[in-house]
Amino acid sequence: LVVQSYKSEMEIDRAIKECDDKRLKTKYNNAIYVIQRALALYSVEEVALSFNGGKDSTVLLHLLRAGYYLHMAGKNQSFGNHGDGETTLPIRTIYFESPTVFPEINSFTYETASIFRLQMDIVRSDFKSGLEALLKAKPIRAFFLGVRIGDPTAVGQEQFSPSSPGWPPFMRVNPILDWSYRDVWEFLLTCKVSYCSLYDQGYTSIGSIHNTVPNALLSLSKSTSSEDKFKPAYMLSDGRLERAGRAKSFISQPSSAAVKGFKNEDYFMKSMFTASVIAVGEEILCLRFGTVEDPMRSILSRKLHSIGWAVSHVAVIRNDIDSVADEVERQKSMTDMVFIYGGFGPLPSDVTAAGVAKAFGVRMLDAFVEINNWLLPSLPHTLITALLSPKALEKEFEECLQNLIGEKCTVERNEMAKLPEGITELLHHENLSLPLIKCQNVIILNATNVKELEQEWDCLIELMRSCGYLQMTGPFVSKRLATMLSDVEIAEPLSEICMEFPDLVIGGYRESRSGPVVVTFKGKDKARSSAAIAALLLENLLRFVKTVVKDYKERCRTDETRTRSGVLIERERN
């Protein structure tokens, strides 16, 4: 039995007011201000606390208790008291209980609800439909959430943010949006409130049982094993690594990115990792000069194919922030990973990073301030995957640039050191003079030619593989058939084969107007492509015979010597 330490809302307020941590006091006062604004805007029935037993929502619960107490005190009204000295928070609490939640989180949530006498609604469907049903049944207009800057879901959010398009209408109130990992632990420890026991076992951010492990940076032994002992979460000195115990999830979003002419792409894209490749630059677009070739696009696509990824979209766009932002915004939600290059160099015309920032709705960093003393922790080899603090990040990038171009860099250096705020990770490799920039699922490559691209790719693969960002699957195998049959003649048998082989992408193109139609079969399993080809040949046998007869008749009529007998020549290409 875990006995939670009970603290009254007055004690919470007092603990902060009496501590000598100025930063925590400021964060606390701001959060209380946001809570009080929300309580002034909405009635108690119209607000709800979104609570899931995580550390951030535990902070939020106690802030809300204190905030509600102060709000009522301001109105000279008393807080709900049961006469037994215990108080209750009359704000509805919502818990989305999932079957893959840690039992420790679940029991902490229920225990907390019981101790603080929360009216807790348990929702067992997904967030969106759960919220839809809830809003129909209850007068809720705003939810308090423990979202913090740096959380993947925080991008573009403010302390008051309306729900996203496509979600039911409500206000998201984020009182601890600007709190750091350290602030969260300062608060929990200063107020001496209970938190879920998993945080004492090395968990630093908790998702589902399938994607969360203790944070390896808290491990007490050198080699990681299942019997490892871990330090408690509050010992993590670098909060940027809070999510290091979270596996990256790369579930492909149902992709509507069409690869023209490919019949099975919907099925295919859903079961594959997909990437888009975006080239930025007037010179690549050939809009004005029409001369520069860009072999990088096809090389990048081939490299992606070689690790089993499908390239679902390739674009060349103009060198301006809005074009980059529009394209990145579309592609980042359509594909698993976006690779962007060009528009990036020691010129003030660099717009790629600014466009990426705009696509995510974040700012570019301005002038840099001194380096934080907790920058560059001694991480495994050359990789820093942390979400660096904006200032530190900028400085770090700037230093790399300075090493690279030395004294020559003047004004442009500062321009180049600007990076999207809060979403940037720098990927360092000893063979790269400049780190690669990763903004969530967008990778900004610095390469300006094929040789540089190949080197960056090798480093990227090594780095991404080591931290699980890029899932390698088997390479694609592609087989081709060339036929002199007309498009109309092959359409029907091909669509039948497509239905029979949904795991293959089957497409067709013409090498020239009068040349053969080339049918391509792409998939992970060579035997499946061969089987599809065999089936197509069989399917065609009858039509083939018919065509020969028809050709013969036509030739007799027109005296034409050219045969259209549709000889199928099998070629193979890996």
User: What does the binding site for ligand FMN look like in residue numbers (CB under 6 A)?
Assistant: 50, 96, 127, 131, 143, 145, 153, 163-164, 167, 172, 207
180 binds ligand ATP (CB under 6 A): no
Shortest Å, Cβ 158 to Mg ion: 21
Q: Nearer to ligand ATP by C-beta: 97 or 329? A: 97
Query: Which 144-163 positions form the footprint of ligand ATP (CB under 6 A)?
Result: 145-147, 151
Residue 416 amino acid letter: M
Residue nearest to Mg ion (CB): 54
Asked if 507 interacts with ligand ATP (CB under 6 A), we say no
Among ligand ATP, Mg ion, ligand FMN, none, residue 215 binds (CB under 5-8 Å by kind) = none
> DSSP for 111-173?
HHHHHTT--EEEE-S-HHHHHHHHHHHS---EEE----BTBGGGTT--SEEEPPTTSPS-EEE
- Residue 172 binds which one of ligand ATP, ligand FMN, Mg ion, none, with CB within 5 to 8 A depending on kind? ligand FMN
Q: How much of the chain is in helix, strand and coil states, percent to nearest 5? A: 45, 15, 40
d(CA 58, CA 53): 6
Report which residue type is found at 459. C
204/217 Cα distance (integer angstroms):
10
Region near ligand ATP per CB under 6 A, out of 48-56, 287-295, 305-313, 317-325:
48-56
What does the alpha-carbon distance between residue 480 and residue 190 come to, in Å, rounded to a whole number? Answer: 68
Query: From the CB of 205, what's the least distance to Mg ion, in Å?
Result: 6
Asked whether position 170 contacts ligand ATP by CB under 6 A, the answer is no
Minimum Å distance from CB 135 to ligand FMN?
Answer: 10
For residues 391 and 395, give the distance between their C-alpha atoms in angstroms, rounded to a whole number: 6
Is 54 a binding residue for Mg ion by CB under 5 A? The answer is: yes
| E strand or H helix at 457 | helix 450-467
Query: Residue 65 and residue 79: Cα distance in Å, rounded?
Result: 10
Q: Which position has the token pair 């905030």?
A: 67
Binding flags for Mg ion, 181-210, as an x/- string (CB under 5 A): -------------------------x----
Select 170 or 187, whichever has its Cβ closest to ligand FMN.
170
Write a three-state SS string for 516-566. Answer: CEEEEEEECCHHHHHHHHHHHHHHHHHHHHHHHHHHHHHHHHHCCCCCCCC
Annotate each residue in 75-104 with x if it binds ligand ATP (CB under 6 A) or - if it does not, as one string: -------------------xxx--------
Is 150 a binding residue for Mg ion by CB under 5 A? The answer is no
Dist. CA 483–CA 564, nearest whole Å: 9
In angstroms, rounded to a whole number, what is the distance separating the alpha carbons of residues 97 and 95?
Answer: 6
- Which tokens in the block code for residue 245? 């115990």
- Residues 95, 186: Cα–Cα separation, whole Å: 25
Closest distance to ligand ATP from the beta carbon of 208 (Å)? 10
CB of 318: closest distance to ligand ATP in angstroms? 37
Residue whose CB is less far from Mg ion, 54 or 214? 54
We find the least distance from the C-beta atom of residue 523 to ligand FMN, in angstroms, to be 32
Cα gap 330→317, rounded to integer Å: 13
Q: Which is nearer to ligand FMN, 42 or 267 (CB)?
A: 42
Residue (48 or 436) nearer to Mg ion, CB: 48
Cβ distance to ligand ATP smaller for residue 181 or 521: 181
Q: In this chain, which of 206, 423, 460, 532 binds ligand ATP, going by CB under 6 A?
A: 206
Closest to 156 in 3D by CA, of 444, 420, 426: 420
- Residues in contact with ligand ATP by CB under 6 A are 50-52, 54-57, 60, 94-96, 145-147, 151, 205-206
- Residues in contact with Mg ion by CB under 5 A are 54, 206
